Every structure is written in structure tokens, then in C-alpha cells.
Structure 1
Amino acid sequence: MSNRKIAAWRDAGLIDSATAQRLVAYEAEHARPLALWAVFGLGALAIGLGIISVVAANWEEIPGQLRLAVHLALLIGLSATLALREGELARISPWVSEALLFVIAVLGLTFFGHLGQVYQTSSPLWKPLATWLILFGPMLLIFGRSWPAAALLIGASIYCAWDFAAADSGALFEREERPGWLLAAIATTLPGLFAPFAAWMRDRSGRHDFWRQLELVAITYAVGGATLSCIVASFGGFDSDYDPLGSAGQLVRAVAALGFGLLLVLAKPGLSGRVSGLVMAGSGLTIALALGVNDIDLLAAGLFMALWVGIAAAALAIDARGAFQLAVAVVALRLIILSFELASDLLLSGFGLILSGLMILAVAWGAVRVSQVYAPGRETQEQTP
């Protein structure tokens, strides 16, 4: 905060002279010169790059067991530092603690790859990921403070679940023994379970921001799945029945999302909990309905827009300006794409291109106007939808 701004507040009568002096003294005491910190950062970066270069140049000359021992020792040392000094690091800056936790988690993840390289072993990726989640997931839940830890935990869970589900069909990764469509479909629902769990923990922990971010990322997974279901349905992608990626698997995910929505309402009483639960349940309902509009482009697009209109309404209910504007933008974009799908012949003529351009401008203008008129004010604190 600049002294000029403090002086402006004092002159406007927002603060008195004594408060202004205390603010100036506080800022002077806690100032962190940007140039000095940049120099420190460049020095640390140079040292780190130098160490990496030395190790990389002699990688093959270093015995595999020694590399693993150093990797493991580094992992244990950093983990011990986090466990013993986490509170002190968080008081310095929550981001210091979060950065250390993130580094430990990534080191743990790369350790499995390092282990496979040294001993020349291989396995489906979901197996080391599942092991990593069992070993390091609790650490992320115990010490996580913001979105990096939440995103890493949910992201790894999603990748692990879908790798397990798709491994049997070879749709994403190498084919292996089929795990069973029901088990695979259930696995893909598990990342959504973080939403009610995080909602339940929010009032039982001092790390409110972490649990809020974890809940939000888990709800985003459900909304993303519902959105993708509408897109797949628009070109008739749901053909197979008893397959983790097919119609039966979709129904399992729909039922799970409905259940998670109910758990969200129970775990977080109040308007915010009801809205979060409705968004989660609405995503599940959309996933189920997408099967009924499979290969019906217009209805699939309508279902897509209904989902995001519902999200916009939910955002309005809790004064979430950013979420509302995002939902309006998504609906506008889908309208534009739908117009091209329904009137693709217009694009073959100059007059048609002019009409299409005017239509895009009209939709964009309408989206901006809706956002300006109905979006909550910037001063309103946003909450998790």
C-alpha cells in the first residue's frame, strides 16, 4: 500500500491522522522491496538450475540405488520439516507452507517413476497413482491451505479413476484385464465425494479456504462431467450399454451425483449448502437426461444451456459474480455454436457470413448486458456455488 493512498484516505476523512501514521509505520516495517526479492529469486533459480544441470549431466553415472536413496532422504527430510514446522511456516506466509507441501507431493509422485526406471518395472498408471493417493492424500488433507493442494488432490484422483475405468477398453491407455464396468463406473464417481466431505470439514477446521477450494474443485468435476455428457450426446456418442464409458456407466455417475448433492445439503446447512447441493444434483440429472437426447443435437444443446442457466441462477442466489458471468458466457458461446450447426449453409455465402457475424455480435452484446444488469456487485463477497 502506497503512502499516497494512505494520505488520500486521510484527506477524504476515511481515517484519522493517528491511524494514517500507524499504517505508514506498519507498511514501512513490513515492506518487501520487489527488486531485492527479484534478485534473491534469480539467485535461487540460478543455483537450482545449476544443480539440475550437474545432476543431469552425470545421471547415468550415478548408481540407481544412490539416486533413490537421495530422493527418499529428500522426501523424508522435507516431510519432517513440514510436520514439525508447518505452523511456523504458515505464520510466515501460508504460501510457504503450501509450496513446501506441493513440492513434497510432487516428489512423492515422481518417486514411483524413479523407482520404475531404476528397477525397469512397469504397470498401469492408475496403480502408482492410487498408491500415491493413499500415502500422500492424507498429508494434502491435513496440511493443505489453498487451491494448489486441492487441485493436485482432485486432479490425481480424477486421472487415477478414469485410467482405471478406461484401461479395460483401451480407450485412453494400454489394455489390461477388464475390472468390470460397474466397479469402473463407481471409481469415476469417487472424486465427487470430496465435495460433501469438504463441506462438512469447513466449519470444523481453521483452514476454511482449503476446504472451500476442495469443495469447489469437486463440484467443478461434476459440472464438467455433465457438460461433457451434453456435448457427447449432441453427436450421438452414447452407444454401448454395459461399459464404464457408456450408458450404464453414465447412470451410475448420475445417481452418485444426486447422492452427493443430498450429502452436500446435509453437510452444509444454509443457503450456500442448498445451492451447492442443487448444482451437484443438477449435474447428475443432466448426466442422466443426456442419454435421452443422444444424437438429437437441438435437445442436447438445450440441455447444455439449461444446465448453465441453472448454474447462473445458483450464482445469483449466493451473489457469486464470477460464476454468474462465466455461466452467461458459456450459454452465449453455446448459442453461437448452435446457430452454426443449424445454419451451416449460411457460411458458404458472403451474405450468410455477414448475417452470422451480426448474430455473433448480438449474442455477445446480450451476454454482456445480462452480466451488467443481473450480476452481483463487485463489493459482494463471493461464495462457493
Structure 2
Amino acid sequence: MTSITKLNQWLQAGLITPAQHANILSFEAEHRQHSNGWLYSFMILGAAIIGLGVISLIAANWATIPETVKLGVDFALLTLLALGVFWQYPKRHNGVWFEVLLVGFMLLCLASIGLIAQVFHLGGKWYHALLFWAAITFLLSLFARNLFTRFFWVTLLLQGLIWSLVALTNPNISEHWEALPSVLLLAPLLIAVLYYATTHSKLLRGFTSSLFFWFQIAAIIALAFADIVRSGGEMTDYQVAWFVPAYVAAVLLAVGILLHKEYRWLNKLLLLGALGLLLLYYHPDLLFNGQSRYSLFGSQAHAGVGFWQADDIRAPLLTLTILFLYALHAGNSGHQRTFNLITFLIGLRFVILYFQAMGGLAATGVGLIISGSLIIGITWLWYKGRDRLREWTKRLQA
């Protein structure tokens, strides 16, 4: 006897309520979806490969195909996929074909935007096309049941939104790659704002995990980039105006942190502190001038430059401080995986700092022995002390 049949019998016997019956069915459908995640992934991958094959065949004869035929075939395929999505909609909880057809339809919508722009010789930027695509497929993404579909939509949305916002203050960003830091700073701040927005809406909660994933990736990249260029004395010829979208996102993020009901005052202070230091890190010349270098214990220190005034000393210390503040927040909030990741990055940065400081020593046999011992020691201390440190962070504000 199947579980659904048993549930129906329990419902008829009055052992469970209709609401409980519906919740159990929803839970089981979600469980089956996660357990068959590999099936969804390979089916969607196969659909994408078929689409690439069709595109390659068309591209090989692109010049000889009339424009009316191109548009006609495109809209015919859109219609067929739309009918398929509609046909599979009642089976979306248990079937894989709904998700495959949905992803195929969304991909074809993106291809159709490029086709129409090519046929009618329309101008525009690629990130504007992505933003338009995300807008017209937003309602479709809400019906997605598989994480891959929502992750795919969120990824393209973020690309279009971030680059479009930066282009507001630097229209020729494709020709001025020195504005890249403004993109890297805006990315984690904007994603964090969207993350907080989805946590307050039941309708948008399906995008929360994807946004949190990209927030962590974007934040690590932004912090690593700032650390590298600041330690190297670069990133000094940038305009503050390029960072205006990032500053607006930072204000919205600060408001979201302050209004978050589940955060205690300590978590709010830790997050606001990390946010303020990140903004300071990316300011063109407020803290770093690109000329003060101590060469990390070397013999090429600039005259009149103190140890704490050198860019290549301030940068790693600022990186470690930001990571430490966020690690305290993650540990205090019970996010174990994030806490483990951040504490690992802290240990890794200490190791890199050691090699920066003692690069000459590490070139010798004794230096290699000391360096290897240091890496083993840091790894062992991190492994043995992470649980104790996490418990300490949880007790900071009981």
C-alpha cells in the first residue's frame, strides 16, 4: 500500500486534518525532489546540450536563412515550449519534465531577445538584455520547484542588475576597466540587500539560498581583490562617483541590518562594523594612498613611513579584522558552515601573510621546514579550536 493511499485513509478516518494531509504531501514532494536532484540536473543539462546543437546547426547556415523564417521558427518553438510547460504544470510536484521545459523556455526567451536585436538591428548592452530577460521571466521563476532553475535565474539577474547600476555612473564601463572595483564592491552589498528582502517575503523565499551563496562568493572575491591591490599599492586613481550605487546599497543594507528582528544588538554591531570597514577598504584615498609601503619586514621601507602607516601592513590587518567580525556574527547566529569557512579563510590569510613577510627565509631548506611546520600548526589549531571558538561566540550574548 502506497504512502498516498495510507494518507487518504487516515484523512477519511479523521486521524489527520486536511491541512496536515496537504502539508505531508508537500513535504514528501519536496523530499523526493531533493533526493532526485541528480536526475533534474542531468535532464536539464541534456536539454541545454540539445539547444546548443540546434543553435550550432542554425549558425552554420545563418546567412542563408531569411529573417522571417528565423523569427517564425523562434516563435513556433516558444509556443511549443509554452504549451509543454502548461501541459506539465499539474505534474510539477512529481515530474521532472515541467522543470526541463521551464528552463528550456526561459533559455529560449533569452535567445529570442538576441535574435530580435540582431534582426531589427537594435542597440543596447548585454547587461540590459539580461535585466530585461529577468523581468519578463520573473513570474515563471516563481513556479520553479528545483533549486537549479531558481539559481540560474538569480545568477543572470544579478549580472544584469549589478552591471546596469554601475553603468549609471560610468556609462563607458566596458572601455574603462579601472571601474571594476566599483562592480566588486556593489556585488556583495546589493546581493545582501536582496537576500534580506527575500527573507521577509514568503513568495520570494525560494531565492534566499541562491542569493546567500552568491553573497558569500561575491564578498570573498571583493575582499581578496581589495587585499591584493591595496597590498600592491594600486587602486588609487579611481573616482568616488563610480561607487555611488555601492554606497546606496550600503545604506539600504545598514537599514536592513538594523531592522532585522532576529538579530541581537551584538550581531547588528558586528555586521555594521564589517560593512564600514569594507567601505573604508574600497575608498580611493581615505586610508590607502598607494605610496606607503613597508615591504613587510624587508629592507626597502620608504623613508618616514611607520610600520602601521604602510599599505601592505594595513591591508592584511583590515582583511583579518573584517573576517573576524563576520566570523563572530556567524558563530553567534549558529551558522556553522559559514563560521567554519570564515575561520579557515582567517588561517589561510595568516599563512599568506607569513610567506609575504618571510619569503626569503622560505626559499631555504630550514625556511621550508619552518613554513611547513607553521602550516601544520595553524591547521591543527583551527581544527581543534573551531568548536570551542564557536561556543564562545554563542555565549557572547546569551
Same fold judged by TM-score > 0.5?
Answer: yes
Give the one of 319, 331, 334 matched to 1:304.
319
Give the C-alpha shift of residue 352 in structure 1: 1.8
Q: Are the aligned partners of 2:130 and 2:160 in contact in 1 as well (CA < 8 Å)?
A: yes
Q: Which amino acid aligns with 2:253?
A: F
Q: Would the alpha carbon gap of residues 98 and 279 (structure 1) be closer, same or farther in structure 2, given more than 3 Å must change?
A: farther
Alignment of 1:64-213 (within 5 A): 64-79=67-82, 82=85, 84=86, 88-92=90-94, 99-118=100-119, 123-136=124-137, 138-139=138-139, 142-143=142-143, 146=147, 147-161=151-165, 165=170, 167-168=172-173, 170-172=175-177, 189=186, 192-193=189-190, 195-206=192-203, 208-213=205-210
C-alpha distance in structure 1 between counterparts of 2:136 and 2:75, whole Å: 14
Give the C-alpha shift of residue 282 in structure 1: 2.1
Q: Which residue of 2 aligns with 1:326?
A: 341
Give the C-alpha shift of residue 304 in structure 1: 0.7
Q: Are the aligned partners of 2:78 and 2:105 in contact in 1 as well (CA < 8 Å)?
A: yes
Give the C-alpha shift of residue 326 in structure 1: 0.8
Q: Which residue of 2 aligns with 1:269?
A: 261
How many residues end up aligned between the 2 structures? Answer: 327
**Matched position secondary structure for 1:151:** helix
Give the one of 224, 236, 250 matched to 2:233.
236
Q: Are the aligned partners of 2:184 and 2:218 in contact in 1 as well (CA < 8 Å)?
A: no
Query: Are 1:352 and 2:367 matched, yes or no?
Result: yes
Give the C-alpha shift of residue 203 in structure 1: 4.4
Q: Which amino acid aligns with 1:92?
A: N
C-alpha distance in structure 2 between counterparts of 1:86 and 1:294, whole Å: 60
- 1:30-76 superposed Cα distances (whole Å, 9 cap, x missing partner): 89x99xx79x969x779778766765665554333322332233335
- 1:254-304 superposed Cα distances (whole Å, 9 cap, x missing partner): 5632431322442x4113898489547623432224541454112100111
**Matched position secondary structure for 2:175:** coil
Give the C-alpha shift of residue 333 in structure 1: 1.4
Q: Which amino acid aligns with 2:338?
A: A
Query: Are 1:259 and 2:252 matched, yes or no?
Result: yes
C-alpha distance in structure 2 between counterparts of 1:102 and 1:66, whole Å: 24
TM-score, with structure 1 as normaliser: 0.66
- 1:187-222 superposed Cα distances (whole Å, 9 cap, x missing partner): 974884454444344343255332343355346545
C-alpha distance in structure 1 between counterparts of 2:66 and 2:208, whole Å: 42
- 1:127-147 superposed Cα distances (whole Å, 9 cap, x missing partner): 4334334433x3366445533
Q: Which amino acid aligns with 1:105?
A: M
Alignment of 1:1-40 (within 5 A): none
Q: Would the alpha carbon gap of residues 139 and 258 (structure 1) be closer, same or farther in structure 2, given more than 3 Å must change?
A: same
C-alpha distance in structure 2 between counterparts of 1:274 and 1:220, whole Å: 24
C-alpha distance in structure 1 between counterparts of 2:216 and 2:165, whole Å: 16
Aligned CA RMSD, in angstroms, stands at 4.5
C-alpha distance in structure 2 between counterparts of 1:185 and 1:53, whole Å: 36
Give the C-alpha shift of residue 321 in structure 1: 1.5
Q: Which amino acid aligns with 2:115?
A: H
Q: Are the aligned partners of 1:332 and 1:364 in contact in 2 as well (CA < 8 Å)?
A: yes
C-alpha distance in structure 2 between counterparts of 1:281 and 1:106, whole Å: 41
Q: Which residue of 2 aligns with 1:367?
A: 382
Q: Are the aligned partners of 2:99 and 2:144 in contact in 1 as well (CA < 8 Å)?
A: yes
Q: Are the aligned partners of 1:328 and 1:371 in contact in 2 as well (CA < 8 Å)?
A: yes
- Structure 2: state its 5+ residue gaps: 1-27, 291-310, 392-398
Greater displacement, 164-173 / 346-355: 164-173
Q: Would the alpha carbon gap of residues 260 and 48 (structure 1) be closer, same or farther in structure 2, given more than 3 Å must change?
A: closer
**Matched position secondary structure for 2:176:** coil
Q: Would the alpha carbon gap of residues 140 and 322 (structure 1) be closer, same or farther in structure 2, given more than 3 Å must change?
A: farther
**Matched position secondary structure for 1:204:** coil
Give the C-alpha shift of residue 316 in structure 1: 0.7
TM-score, with structure 2 as normaliser: 0.64
Identity of counterpart residues, as a percentage?
A: 23
